[in-house]
């Protein structure tokens, strides 16, 4: 299978890594790619939102499957252009991708399908926004209606800041605050059938302790040992499948990756948002654990044959990713700074580095080209081991002004260790009691 992968970030490097490991992939191309992806695929320059350019490149590379990484090409209609050219594409049509491209459209889908979510108002004027803010009260949640690269959401108790954000964004969705841990669940969909991947949790705030501004994501981990039993099945039944069905009934079958951002509130699961593509940085940990070859799954989604796909296989253990950001991120990230230490980081047992915002300068030196620069992935038999590997590797990276959160998966790893220790204690106590009973019988 010849595969063309669209995108240039850490998510796409993770996809390229998984696709290149698939024995059915005989030729891997990426556009535009990045220096890390270049080690795995043939790279091509392209304007990702130019549907004609993308379709032309797919024909030139004789792609059997095009995998769309980021959301902008989907919202621009790249998947439509590819399918019109007879080229299978993993990614929803422009109309279906509006589930991410328009927060208000997503709310319409949820309302029609009976999907649990926050109460919300779509506002186009300052008077409407003021009324919604007064109705819902603090903490205020203000979301830009369109795409905003993960930075269009403001959660604040400051009414002045909420009003300013609403005014700057134009059309906004203002909704009630959902209080509870957040979970990301990805599902492959082919228009009819949906198949879940592993649930993950990401960290949106810039600083430790969930402080600072929202970002595109500063780290993630999987699995979630604290998640309630049956969570995935519940979400598939009440959120994902109803959304897929509603879109099909509207004549816009959803073929691609549907990302459900969830809040586990005291009242039950509520949808925070839908995305129309693999999430970043959750993809980096989810694909690390996937043992089933990826290309066949994506092709089944694109071709409408997921119902006949074998059950997914997952590697044991855990994965944690830590995002290394450039100085000034998320406001004004520095670009062009030299990056060092990747070889040392890559030699850390159980760890590897993915490129997210990197480029080569005129002298061939690796430099920063985006706010989120690198994703350091650690793996291990449990979260504590995976986390230790990720942070050991991250410590080798050299980048002027570079920074990262130090608490990714920390709370979950500690809780997991405590639960394992308690379980071991109960097993030991049970074994001792059984031994005593046996000796008494003698």
pLDDT per position as a tens digit, 106-147: 999 999 999 999 999 999 999 999 999 999 999 999 999 988
Give a three-class secondary structure readout of 47-89.
Answer: CCCCHHHHHHHHHHCCCCEEEECCHHHHHHCHHHHHHHCCCCE
Is the pLDDT higher at 263 or at 421?
263
> Does 354 share its domain with 365?
yes
Q: Each residue of 180-213: pLDDT tens digit?
A: 999 999 999 999 999 999 999 999 999 999 999 9
Share of the chain above pLDDT 70, in %: 97
Q: What is the CATH number of the domain that holds 21?
A: 3.40.50.20
Q: Are 343 and 393 spatial neighbours (Cβ–Cβ below 8 Å)?
A: no
Q: Where are the beta strands (DSSP E) in 78-222?
A: 89-90, 120-123, 140-144, 153-156, 172-175, 182-190, 194-202, 205-207, 211-214, 219-222
Residues 250, 102: one domain? Answer: yes
Q: Would you state the pLDDT for residue 147?
A: 83
Q: Does 135 share its domain with 167?
A: yes
Residue 426 inside a domain? The answer is no
Q: Is residue 14 part of a domain?
A: yes
**Residue length of the chain:** 442
**What's the pLDDT band for 439 if we cut at 50, 70, 90?**
low
Please report the pLDDT score of residue 430 as a whole number: 73
Q: Inform me whether the pLDDT recorded for 1 exceeds 80.
A: yes
Looking at the 3D structure of the chain, how many domains does it have?
4
Is position 429 within any domain?
no
Does the pLDDT value for residue 405 go beyond 80? yes
Q: What is the pTM of this model?
A: 0.93
CATH code, 303: 3.30.470.20
Domain match, 157 and 259 both: no
**Domain CATH number, residue 362:** 3.90.600.10
104 and 77 part of one domain: no
What pLDDT score does 152 carry?
A: 84
Per-residue pLDDT averaged across 23-28, rounded?
98
Tell me whether residue 436 is in a domain: no
Domain-terminating residue out of 298, 314, 330 = 314
The CATH number of the domain holding residue 136 is: 3.30.1490.20
49/32 same-domain check = yes
Final residue in a domain of this structure, among 314, 342, 365:
314
Here the tokens at position 34 are 């990045």
Runs of H (alpha helix) within 114-155: 126-136
Q: Is it the case that residue 438 has pLDDT exceeding 80? A: no
Is 82 in the same domain as 63?
Answer: yes
In this structure, are 129 and 33 located in the same domain? Answer: no
Q: What is the pLDDT of residues 233-283, one digit of tens each?
A: 999 999 999 999 999 999 999 999 999 999 999 999 999 999 999 999 999
Residue 38 located in a structural domain: yes
pLDDT at 183: 98
Residue 167, domain member (yes or no): yes
224 and 102 inside one domain: yes
* Full strand arrangement of the beta sheet holding 120-123: 120-123, 172-175, 140-144, 153-156
Contacts of 174 (CB under 8 A, 6+ apart): 120, 121, 123, 129, 132, 133, 136, 140, 141, 142, 143, 162, 166
What's the confidence (pLDDT) of residue 441? 55
Residues 6+ apart with CB under 8 A from 181: 201, 226, 263, 264
pLDDT range class, residue 148, cuts 50, 70, 90? confident
Domain final residue, candidates 282, 314, 346: 314
Whether 103 and 143 have beta carbons less than 8 Å apart is answered as yes
pLDDT at 419: 84
Q: What is the mean pLDDT of residues 82-100?
A: 97
268 and 190 in a common domain: yes
Q: Please tell me what DSSP assigns to residue 228.
A: P
**Claim to verify: residue 197 and residue 102 sit in the same structural domain:** yes
- Asked if the structure places residue 441 within a domain, the reply is no
pLDDT at 413 over 80: yes
On whether residue 268 sits in a domain, the answer given is yes
Query: Alpha carbon of 27 to those of 6, 20, 58, 303: distances in Å?
Result: 14, 8, 13, 20
| Alpha-carbon 135 to chain mean position | 32
Q: Supply the mean pLDDT for the chain.
A: 95
- What is residue 442's predicted lDDT score, i.e. its pLDDT? 47
- The verdict on 101 and 199 lying in the same domain is yes
Summarised one tens digit per residue, pLDDT across range 321-347 is: 999 999 999 999 999 999 999 999 999
Give the domain range for residue 147: 119-175
222: three-class secondary structure by DSSP: strand
Q: What does the pLDDT read at residue 146?
A: 86
- CB within 8 Å of 243: residues ≥ 6 apart: 99, 109, 110, 113, 115, 254, 258, 260, 274
Q: CA 208 → CA 262, 324, 364, distances in Å?
A: 21, 13, 34
CA distances from 20 to 38, 89, 109, 136, 251 (A): 12, 18, 36, 48, 34
Quick: pLDDT tens for 366-385: 999 999 999 999 999 999 99
């Amino acid at each position: 299978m010849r595969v063309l992968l669209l995108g240039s970030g850490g998510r796409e490097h993770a996809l390229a890594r998984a696709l290149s490991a698939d024995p059915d992939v005989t030729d891997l191309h990426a556009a535009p790619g990045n220096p890390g992806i270049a080690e795995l695929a043939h790279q091509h320059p392209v304007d990702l939102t130019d549907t004609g350019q993308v379709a032309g490149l797919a024909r030139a590379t004789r792609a059997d499957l095009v995998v769309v990484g980021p959301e902008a090409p989907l919202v621009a209609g790249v998947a439509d252009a590819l399918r019109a050219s007879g080229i299978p594409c993993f990614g929803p049509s422009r109309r279906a991708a509006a589930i991410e491209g328009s927060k208000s459209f997503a709310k319409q889908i949820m309302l029609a399908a009976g999907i649990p979510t926050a109460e919300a108002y779509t506002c186009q004027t300052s008077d409407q926004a003021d009324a919604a803010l007064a109705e819902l009260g603090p903490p205020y949640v203000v979301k830009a209606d369109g795409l905003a690269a993960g930075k269009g959401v403001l959660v604040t108790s400051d009414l002045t800041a909420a009003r300013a954000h609403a005014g700057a964004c134009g059309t906004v969705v203002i909704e009630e605050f959902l209080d509870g841990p957040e979970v990301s669940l990805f599902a492959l969909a082919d228009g009819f059938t949906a198949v879940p991947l592993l649930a993950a949790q990401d960290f949106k705030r810039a600083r430790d302790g969930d402080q600072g501004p929202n970002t595109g994501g500063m780290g993630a981990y999987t699995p979630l040992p604290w998640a309630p039993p049956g969570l995935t099945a519940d979400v598939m039944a009440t959120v994902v499948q109803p959304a897929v069905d509603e879109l099909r009934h509207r004549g816009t079958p959803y073929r691609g990756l549907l990302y459900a951002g969830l809040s586990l509130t005291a009242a039950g699961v509520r949808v925070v948002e839908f995305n129309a593509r693999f999430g970043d940085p959750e993809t980096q940990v989810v694909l690390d654990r996937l043992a089933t070859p990826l290309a066949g799954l994506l092709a089944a989604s694109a071709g409408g044959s997921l119902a006949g796909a074998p059950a997914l296989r997952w590697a044991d253990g855990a994965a944690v990713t830590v995002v290394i950001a450039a100085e000034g991120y998320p406001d004004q990230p520095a670009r062009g700074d030299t990056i060092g230490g990747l070889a040392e980081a890559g030699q850390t047992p159980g760890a590897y580095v993915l490129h997210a915002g990197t480029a080569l300068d005129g002298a061939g030196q690796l430099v920063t080209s985006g706010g989120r620069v690198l994703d350091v992935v650690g793996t291990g038999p449990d979260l504590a081991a995976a986390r230790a590997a990720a942070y050991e590797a991250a410590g080798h990276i050299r980048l002027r002004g570079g920074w990262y959160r130090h608490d990714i998966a920390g709370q979950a790893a500690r809780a997991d260790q405590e639960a394992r220790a308690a379980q071991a204690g109960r097993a030991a106590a049970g074994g001792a009691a059984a031994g005593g009973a046996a000796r008494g019988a003698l």
